[in-house]
Amino acid sequence: MCDAVYVRYSFNSSSDGGFDIVSGDTVSGVAGRLLENNLIDSEQIFKMAVRLNGGKIQSGQYDIPVGASSWRIADMFADGQVASTTIVIPEGLTIKQIKQLLLQSSVLTGAVECKAGNTAPVCSLKDGQIFPDTYTVARGTNRLAVLDLARKKMQTIEDVLRKSARKLPRPLKNWNDVLTLASIVQKETPRVEEMPIVASVYLNRLNKGMRLQADPTVVYALTDGLGDMQGAPLLRGHLKIESPYNTYRNSGLPPAPIANVGQAAIRAVLMPADTNYLFFVADGKGGHRFSKDYEEHKKNHNDWRKIKKLKNKN
């Protein structure tokens, strides 16, 4: 499970609209457009203010506050105080979903895919390499630049957590194992306080040689890495799909992460709860019921079916 995909915009100042300066614009040309848009009263005063700021104006899109003086506007242009936008990348999304999210933003520019032959790290992104967070960037920022910013932040987070983790919990062997299990935990529960317990269930199953039987891995396989059934139900027949990501058919972890994860899910895997739980099922309240044996799990599952039936009636 994961939060809905959304983009939130947050502008740094109130204004009647954005003002664009592009590379090659002259001070005279900018002054003329400012006057035409009633943003200044005098071209001469604005040009003087620019000269006193070293004659520099930086390209970009600006939110000019209502009533700002020529001096304030010149300061903004000299310092490059461009208008900003806030992009929220929720936890638990796949690379494909994140790219869809960025394409929804009308204030970003460019494509989300690289041109052929480009070997930059951002051109070969895989799930688990993006850090979900809130990013404030200049309006007009290239979408690939946003992806690369999130990639670099994940690398930084990973470096810190690698150094702080003294010993990986059994039977995890490397960082890919950590991120892969964290991505399953991230998709299974939105509750931070529940994540260490969910992590313990899967670790217990791995240590006992039991298959994980995690629904999100099947969804990932069914949707070719999108990670979203888009309203379609997950049916029993789906659990038979031939894929290395199908943890109903294959033992152990999938080959790689199935989503991009936050710090809480990673820490839950590195520091799981100490339990002997082997099963869990939804409780109808946004959380889960955990059980140590299959008989108890069957009872919890039957209770969930009753709750689900009542919800469907309503």
pLDDT at 309: 73
Asked if residues 25 and 57 have their Cβ atoms less than 8 Å apart, the reply is yes
Tokens of 23: 């590379």
pLDDT at 300: 83
The mean pLDDT value for 7-29 works out to 65
pLDDT classification of 196: cutoffs 50, 70, 90: very high
Distances (CA, A) of 143 to 22, 104, 106, 188: 18, 11, 11, 29
Q: Which segment of 67-71, 117-121, 160-164, 269-273 scores lowest on mean pLDDT?
A: 160-164
Asked if residues 261 and 177 have their Cβ atoms less than 8 Å apart, the reply is no
Direct distance between the N- and C-terminal alpha carbons of the chain, in angstroms, rounded to an integer: 22
Percent of the chain exceeding pLDDT 70 equals: 93
pLDDT at residue 15 tops 90: no
More confident residue, 107 or 245: 245
The mean pLDDT value for 239-262 works out to 98
Span 208-241, pLDDT tens digits: 999 999 999 999 999 999 999 999 999 999 999 9
- CA 189 to CA 195: how far, in whole Å? 7
Chain mean pLDDT for the chain: 91
The mean pLDDT value for 35-44 works out to 96
pLDDT at 33: 96
Q: Which fold has domain 15-82?
A: Dna Ligase; domain 1 (3.30.1490)
Mapped onto helix, strand or coil, the DSSP state of residue 86 is: strand
Mapped onto helix, strand or coil, the DSSP state of residue 154 is: helix
pLDDT at 314: 61
φ/ψ of 212, rounded to 5, equals -65, -40
Report CA torsion sign: 46, 52, 53, 55: positive
All CATH 3.30.1490 domain ranges in the chain, comma separated: 15-82
Tokens of 211: 């298959």
Span 136-188, pLDDT tens digits: 999 989 999 999 999 999 999 999 888 887 799 999 999 999 999 999 999 99
Q: Which segment of 25-34, 118-127, 149-158, 277-286 scores lowest on mean pLDDT?
A: 277-286
Helices assigned H by DSSP within the chain: 27-36, 43-52, 70-79, 95-104, 143-164, 175-188, 195-207, 215-222, 263-270, 294-313
Kindly state the DSSP code that residue 150 receives in the 8-state scheme. H
